[in-house]
Structure 1
């Protein structure tokens, strides 16, 4: 019997956002031009709480990317998992991520959700001169990995982590011991991420209250526009791009696939975590969709680690949106840098709630945009996080079906049987079991 009435993290964040907006608007209308409100609340308490939350996100960027990416590379580079399976899976995931980013950036440029008039003196920012494409390519390889970590140079950290993880996977038993250490470190970092996300309702409250005090009504109209641009691109990717890829590369029916994926998508939406959804995803892939266990057990866990198309869409739209808000013109080189950085960074993005904001901070730094711009979108990010997690698990399963079909690890009869795998827990049953 369930008697809990405690609010979940999603409800708390939405409540914090609403209360923050209400408080900001009340103070703004009850005490217009008040120096006390400006000094002790806008620039004082609210600024401190919001800055601490943003700093806590930035704090996790380097350790999260490095440790997660080393773990993912170790798994991919194990001798028993090398070859066609690993190559096809990695290429397919990176391919779909690049498509997601490109569509997201194009949509944001065309629709132009950002409004430069949103920026006040408190949010002004002077952009640094972006390096040339040649310099970006040259600087990918770090001369000093520790310096790259201390400076937060993500491209260099990603390259070093891939090389480091590949080496670990090829030195036998000693490498396996090191890999186990990184797995433990990854668990610790995931716990830290969970703890930081517990601060999200308070951070969102402070950020939204401050925004309500400092920004005009047009701000919220622009944020709503941003929300629907991201949501629209997510839905296009889930219901147009993925079905098209599935039909093109495997010849399977997208309608049958979507019908059998409903429980997985609902569970992903409710948890906002690819990792938490993984048992349900594997169960569905094997018993409902007919994928061989040897393939599903490799491609789906790998996808939960490196395939983050939904997160990439958010990063693409948010980067352009924040640039538009601050009146910063992004060059073709900047857009290419965003696509390359976010695509590679998806390998190091853990499948837990809230990590997308940490990755966004990295992408913004890479093209010289203010991380403070995250404050503009964080209030609506939790709801988008739930949607993009559903998109992510859908992409993982599409890739798994395509790979399984090409590797002859697929049962056609199971896929076309509407009653196949009915013994698997339904969405409601799975939620009940988790509670």
Structure 2
């Protein structure tokens, strides 16, 4: 019993501390009212630190991941089909949530007088598209206001390193090391997060009152049931595509240890060993699972696509902007998929995706703590959908490459335990 309590506290310590600090800050804000604005500078410090680190973090994590995928059999075919599966499932998740938030708007009735953002225009012209995906000078690339061009540049940079092979191995190793360094920096910064977000919410609630807290409950009523339904319904159809009813049976027979581990750790990366083991028991070949699952831990996030649409529509509602129109929906889907790719795969890594949403849409920095709180509230089920989605994605890639009878071929039979 003591060991169980210890494990629970080990896994949930940070979310409990963070949410407790936000609750305490909100209570202080309710008690002090507008006087709680004295705490705002402590929240601004946290925001500034996170915005400062986001550019180098995104660059090194994406470029290192891309540059490392070398010397693997059937790499091109596996990567191509993997990306196809990732994009299709992410698109499906995003569309599902777009429908849901239009039927049941998560911020309906909430009216908070935050600084107004500029009208958000969909990408309609060639000039707008060029500005969205490129910059005219390198210094402009090193800015959190140009995240999409930075992501594209990082992927291209990583591909070039990979194409150079052994000649560029030292650069790939350096990028991997830098990625670890920046992720360590994020983990250290997160020690200040309870103070920063607690202080910010003390000021926020003090100024705007309890209606903001009430709006989170509505957002959770939207998100949690959708995750449960997505897990059982969407993954049923995905696993059925992968291997028929036998695929469905073998998937749900082996997936629950992965799901439980992901909820307990709230980390896609921490669940990779368990996920690899489950994929092996299911029968996914070694080269496919060793590529799809580790990359999926940072690049395939159906749960994050679901939550990104929730956050975007929530911010639209907070700022009084109608969440409708094909252009808005298309940009939301693109941003939701990109925010999933940028996630670092560690607890708290969703902050990077949330900053991407705020920056790409041009919301003021004050919007970040609002969706950051939603991020922490949805993190456990989102991580579970992300991780278990990687498993079924590896099955779908296997079905595409090996054929529909891959389960009967016993492709893992000759592997060592």
Pairwise TM-score range, normalised by the shorter structure? 0.7 to 0.9
1:241/1:131 Cα in 2 relative to 1: closer, same or farther (>3 Å)? Answer: closer
Kept in 2: contact 1:60–1:358 (CA 8 A): no
Cα deviation, residue 380, structure 1: 4.5
Q: Does 1:283 align with 2:277?
A: yes
The one of 244, 256, 263 equivalent to 1:262 is 256
Kept in 2: contact 1:309–1:395 (CA 8 A): yes
The one of 349, 365, 369 equivalent to 1:375 is 369
1:170/1:241 Cα in 2 relative to 1: closer, same or farther (>3 Å)? Answer: same
Q: Does 1:362 align with 2:356?
A: yes
Residue 300 of structure 1 is matched in structure 2 by 293
What is the root-mean-square deviation of aligned Cα atoms in Å?
A: 2.7
Cα deviation, residue 200, structure 1: 2.2
Q: Does 1:165 align with 2:158?
A: yes
SS in 1 for 2:347: coil
Mapped to 2, the partners of 1:380 and 1:320 lie a distance apart of 12
Residue 352 of structure 1 is matched in structure 2 by 346
Residue 271 of structure 1 is matched in structure 2 by 265
Mapped to 2, the partners of 1:237 and 1:145 lie a distance apart of 41
Mapped to 2, the partners of 1:56 and 1:236 lie a distance apart of 37
Mapped to 2, the partners of 1:149 and 1:116 lie a distance apart of 38
Kept in 1: contact 2:235–2:392 (CA 8 A): yes
1:358/1:279 Cα in 2 relative to 1: closer, same or farther (>3 Å)? Answer: same
Residue 33 of structure 1 is matched in structure 2 by none
Q: Aligned runs of 1:12-411 on 2, under 5 Å?
A: 12-28=17-33, 38=35, 41-42=36-37, 44=38, 46-76=39-69, 80-115=73-108, 117-120=110-113, 123-128=114-119, 130=121, 132-134=123-125, 135-139=127-131, 140-150=133-143, 152-251=145-244, 252-286=246-280, 288-330=281-323, 331-408=325-402, 410-411=406-407
Mapped to 2, the partners of 1:411 and 1:311 lie a distance apart of 29
Mapped to 1, the partners of 2:234 and 2:301 lie a distance apart of 15
For each residue in 1:46-75, what CA deviation from the matched residue of structure 2 results, as whole angstroms up to 9, or x when unmatched? 211222222233223222222121122223
Cα deviation, residue 14, structure 1: 2.2
Pairs aligned (count): 402
Residue 414 of structure 2 is matched in structure 1 by none
Residue 11 of structure 1 is matched in structure 2 by 16
For each residue in 1:365-396, what CA deviation from the matched residue of structure 2 results, as whole angstroms up to 9, or x when unmatched? 21222342232343343241121111111110
SS in 2 for 1:274: coil
SS in 2 for 1:93: helix
Mapped to 2, the partners of 1:80 and 1:345 lie a distance apart of 29
Q: Which runs of 5+ in 1 are unaligned?
A: 29-36, 416-423, 425-435
1:127/1:77 Cα in 2 relative to 1: closer, same or farther (>3 Å)? Answer: farther
Cα deviation, residue 411, structure 1: 4.6
1:149/1:103 Cα in 2 relative to 1: closer, same or farther (>3 Å)? Answer: farther
Cα deviation, residue 183, structure 1: 0.5
Cα deviation, residue 309, structure 1: 1.7
What's the TM-score once normalised by structure 1's chain length? 0.84
Mapped to 1, the partners of 2:408 and 2:221 lie a distance apart of 38
What's the TM-score once normalised by structure 2's chain length? 0.87
Mapped to 1, the partners of 2:237 and 2:224 lie a distance apart of 19
1:110/1:406 Cα in 2 relative to 1: closer, same or farther (>3 Å)? Answer: same
